[in-house]
Amino acid sequence: MQFESWQAFIEMGGYGFYVWLAFGVSFLAMGLLVVQGLRARSKLEREFVQEQQRQQRLARRQQEVS
């Protein structure tokens, strides 16, 4: 363990701002990437369900017409 205290760890020998900015933004970016990927997937599922419902609606209407 390189750091004596929690405080020292945060300060990073005076470079805390830079180090944590770099790490923070990097993890934020990766987090967003992951979240976006998962959301794309669930959006696709939603679309799929909507599409199916629409097909059913259309089929029903077609039956009513004929």
What is the C-alpha separation between 29 and 22, in angstroms, rounded?
11
CB distance 16 to 10 below 8 Å: yes
Ranges within 19-38 binding another protein (CB under 8 A): 19, 21-23, 25-26, 29-30, 32-34, 36-38
Radius of gyration of the chain (CA): 26
What is the footprint of another protein within residues 40-59 (CB under 8 A)? 40-42, 44-45, 47-49, 51, 54, 58
Q: Which residues contact 28 (CB under 8 A, 6 or more apart)?
A: none
Binding site for another protein (CB under 8 A): 1-3, 9, 12-15, 18-19, 21-23, 25-26, 29-30, 32-34, 36-38, 40-42, 44-45, 47-49, 51, 54, 58, 61-62
